[in-house]
Homo-oligomer: A and B are copies of this chain.
Amino acid sequence: MLLILLNKESKEPLYRQIVHRIAQMIESGKLQNDEMLPPTRRLAETLHVSRQTIVQAYEELWALGYLTSGSGSYTRVRNRMATVQKENRTEAGIDYERLIGTEKVKQLNQLIGRYQPAEAAGKQLIDMSVMNLDSSVFPVKEFQKSLNKVFRDYPDSTLNYGETAGYIKLREWISKRMRDHSTDVFPGEIILTNGISQGFELILKLFTSPGDTVFTESPGYRIANNLMKLHQLNIIEIPLNESGADLDQLEEGIKKCLKTGIIPKLFYTVPSFQNPTGILTSQKHRERLISIGNRYSLPIIEDSFEEEITYFDKKTLPIKSMDVEQIVFYLGTFSKVLFPGIRVGWIAGEKNCIEQMSILKKMSYMSGNTLTHAALYEFCSSGHYEGFLKKVNRHYAAKLKKAIHLMEEHIPEKGCTWNRPTGGYLFWLKIKAGPERESELMKICDSNGVKVAAGSEFFLNNPDAVYLRICISSLSDTEIEKGIPLLGKAIREFLTRK
* Interface hit among A30-38, A204-212, A431-439: A204-212
Within 8 A of B (CB), among A176-209: 176, 179, 184, 186-189, 194-195, 197-198, 201, 205-207, 209
Q: Are A95 and B365 in contact (CB under 8 A)?
A: no
Min C-beta distance of A463 to chain B, whole Å: 22
A343 at the interface (CB under 8 A from B): yes
* Interface hit among A77-85, A242-250, A397-405, A489-497: A77-85
Q: Are B132 and A356 in contact (CB under 8 A)?
A: no
The number of times this chain is found in the oligomer is: 2
State the CA gap A151–B145 with chains docked (Å).
10
Residue of chain B at shortest CB distance from A323: B82
Within 8 A of B (CB), among A392-448: none
**Given the complex, which residues of B lie within 8 Å of A294, measured CB to CB?**
91-93
Within 8 A of B (CB), among A326-351: 326-327, 339-343, 350-351
Known: A96-B352, A99-B263, A138-B155. A81 touches B160 (CB 8 A): no
Q: Are B159 and A108 in contact (CB under 8 A)?
A: no
Residues of A contacting B: mostly: helix
Known: A160-B135, A187-B23. A326 touches B365 (CB 8 A): no
Q: Are B160 and A96 in contact (CB under 8 A)?
A: no
Q: Are B11 and A94 in contact (CB under 8 A)?
A: no
Residue of chain B at shortest CB distance from A66: B186
Q: Are A343 and B363 in contact (CB under 8 A)?
A: no
Known: A160-B132, A184-B82, A297-B95. A198 touches B364 (CB 8 A): yes
Known: A197-B363, A356-B108, A366-B195. A93 touches B327 (CB 8 A): yes
Q: Are B175 and A64 in contact (CB under 8 A)?
A: yes
Q: Are B162 and A324 in contact (CB under 8 A)?
A: no
State the CA gap A159–B145 with chains docked (Å).
15
Known: A89-B324, A89-B325. A24 touches B341 (CB 8 A): no
A295 at the interface (CB under 8 A from B): yes
State the CA gap A186–B67 with chains docked (Å).
12
State the CA gap A291–B108 with chains docked (Å).
30
Name the one of B20, B80, B162, B323 contacting A341, with C-beta atoms under 8 angstroms. B162
* Interface hit among A46-54, A223-231, A452-460: A223-231
Per-residue CB proximity of A359-383 to B under 8 Å, as 1/0?
Answer: 1101111111111100000000000
A65 at the interface (CB under 8 A from B): yes
Per-residue CB proximity of A88-122 to B under 8 Å, as 1/0?
Answer: 01011111100111001100110110000000000
- Show 6 A/B contacts (Cβ-Cβ < 8 Å), sorted by A: A91-B295, A96-B353, A100-B353, A159-B339, A210-B210, A227-B363
Given A64-B187, A99-B299, A135-B157, 10 further pairs, Cβ under 8 A: A85-B324, A86-B324, A91-B291, A91-B325, A140-B151, A143-B159, A144-B151, A162-B341, A198-B365, A210-B210
